[in-house]
Amino acid sequence: MKTIKLLALFITGSVLLASCSSDDDNPEVINEEELITTMTVTLIADNANDVVLEIFDEDGQDGPAEPNVKVSGSLKANTTYAGTVQLENETEDPAEDITEEVKEEADEHQFFFAVTGNLNTPEYDDTENDYLGNGSDNYVGIKFLLTTTEPGEGTFKVTLIHEPKKPNNGISDAGGETDATATFPVNVE
């Protein structure tokens, strides 16, 4: 009888010790969303003035403050512009360059573009391979080409999606979460 009691006590103790083992061997990595206060889109063409589109939102996209949108000038009709997107967190001193994080995690990010008026849908001018050297031809969108048509007014919308499905057929089937979005009024002359 003593042997059975000792064996039962040993088994109970072993189960208790095993259940107390640490689960911290593989802690979950949490990729916290960065605060993006500023999106700057720079458009450069050989035969036209550079145009800068900028939105500043001091508390980020989810805060109550209204964003401040600036457009430096009009786009030239029937012109192709080389575009770049720059993201910053200006609550930090010096401002934190969020674009660098997008480059480092290019396989987890993609910019999407929507246009109205006299703009053609932008063409991507960069891939994951440009930033990660991983051989992937999945688009990122930090660099793009934007072509205007006839004079008129319209809008240019830029959206950064975190963890989109890649490849995709555009924002409608990309999934993921929106990190930043901005809509700029544009004038084509």
Instruction: Using the Cα atoms of residue 180, residue 39, residue 61 and residue 34 in order, give the sign of their dihedral.
Output: positive
CATH architecture of the region 33-188: Sandwich (2.60)
The rounded distance, in Å, linking the Cα atoms of 44 and 50 is 5
Question: What are the structural domain ranges in the chain?
Answer: 33-188
CB 134 within 8 A of CB 127: no
For tokens 């890649």, the residue is: 166
Among 163, 106, 165, 102, which Cα is nearest to 133's?
A: 106
pLDDT at 32: 59
Among 27, 16, 5, 54, which Cα is nearest to 186's?
A: 54
pLDDT at 29: 45
pLDDT at 152: 97
pLDDT at 7: 45
**Per-residue confidence of the chain (189 residues) as pLDDT tens digits?**
555 544 444 555 555 445 555 555 555 544 556 799 999 999 999 999 999 999 999 877 777 888 999 999 999 999 999 999 999 999 999 999 999 999 999 999 999 999 999 999 999 999 999 999 999 999 999 999 999 999 999 999 999 999 999 999 999 999 999 999 999 999 999
The CA distances from residue 187 to 50, 73, 86, in Å, are: 13, 8, 21
Helix, strand, coil distribution of the chain in percent, nearest 5? 20, 40, 45
Distance of CA 107 to the CA centre of its chain: 11
The rounded distance, in Å, linking the Cα atoms of 163 and 53 is 25
